[in-house]
């Protein structure tokens, strides 16, 4: 889609140029150009785009609009495609905001998953307790905002089951995550309750490797890759919008596929 015709050509060029300069990160630039395209119907105010601040404000408005539309379109009963084992990508790519050698080292014996917010039981979870829960397996596609995708096999606890175990308020709006590598993100409750949203403990037939998020990641085949946090250390349920690492830089919050 193109920029809306109600904007003069000079302002459309200025908006695109300023959007591309907001961050040096190429993934953000891809996102920003995408946001301009997908969200053009929201740009009906007629406000002039004169500088970087106004471009940022306009794009954040578009991003919020896109989030709302994606949330309305999301069907919690629609499943992402699952694949045969013969289609698994080998090797599965490493992806993070740091080099693979810098992935955090988490000691299994000391690990305790913190639970907080609107839940009845805030007792922390050791890996032993997590491994003892019923496990499900999916072979699904991971889609990265940078333009690549890969298929992997993930096994772990259905997240909806885990939320029920801790007595989470399932009417709350958000579930947030904090991670050992400093990452954070959050999701809406309908996505949290989706049957394919999984607390992943294994990759393939092995305990989840460090480079893929040991001791635990959240796997959501209905979301872009950056919404799938790794090395999770804390989960909380809240009605206050928690934001996230990339989301606070302007990436779409909902980020559904």
Please answer whether residues 145 and 136 qualify as being in contact, where contact means their C-beta atoms are separated by less than 8 angstroms.
no
Inform me whether the pLDDT recorded for 62 exceeds 80.
no
Full-model pTM: 0.77
Region(s) of the chain under CATH 3.90.420.10? 85-249
pLDDT at site 51: 53
pLDDT tens, position by position, 44-60: 444 554 555 554 555 55
pLDDT at site 212: 98
As a dihedral over the C-alpha atoms of residue 227, residue 231, residue 235, residue 241, rounded to 10 degrees, the angle is: -30
Inform me whether the pLDDT recorded for 6 exceeds 60.
no
Three-state secondary-structure class, residue 104: coil
Enter the tokens of residue 257: 């596929």
User: What distance in Å separates the CA atoms of residue 89 and residue 171, rounded to the nearest whole number?
Assistant: 37
Least confident of 47-61, 191-205, 235-249: 47-61
CATH class of 85-249: alpha beta
pLDDT tens, position by position, 141-196: 999 999 999 999 999 999 999 999 999 999 999 999 999 999 999 999 999 999 99
């Amino acid at each position: 889609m193109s920029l809306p015709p109600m904007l003069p050509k000079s302002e459309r060029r200025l908006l695109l140029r300023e959007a591309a300069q907001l961050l040096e990160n190429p993934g953000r630039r891809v996102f920003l150009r995408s946001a301009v395209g997908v969200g053009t119907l929201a740009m009906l105010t007629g406000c002039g785009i004169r500088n970087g601040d106004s471009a940022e404000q306009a794009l954040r408005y578009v991003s919020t609009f896109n989030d709302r539309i994606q949330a309305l379109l999301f069907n919690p009963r629609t499943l992402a495609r699952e694949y045969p084992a013969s289609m698994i990508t080998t090797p599965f790519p490493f992806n993070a905001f740091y080099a693979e050698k810098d992935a955090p080292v988490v000691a299994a014996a000391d690990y305790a998953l913190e639970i907080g917010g609107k839940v009845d039981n805030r007792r922390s979870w050791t890996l032993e307790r997590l491994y003892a829960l019923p496990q499900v397996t999916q072979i699904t596609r991971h889609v990265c905002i940078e333009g690549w995708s890969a298929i992997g096999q993930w096994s772990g606890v259905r997240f909806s089951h885990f939320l029920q175990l801790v007595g989470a308020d399932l009417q709350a709006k958000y579930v947030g995550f904090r991670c050992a590598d400093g990452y954070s993100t959050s999701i809406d409750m309908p996505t949290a309750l989706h049957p394919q949203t999984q607390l992943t403990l294994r990759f393939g037939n092995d305990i989840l490797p460090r480079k893929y998020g040991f001791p635990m990641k959240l796997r959501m085949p209905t979301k872009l890759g950056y919404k799938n946090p790794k090395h999770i250390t804390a989960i909380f349920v809240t009605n206050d919008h928690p934001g996230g690492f990339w989301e606070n830089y302007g990436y779409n919050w909902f980020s559904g596929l």
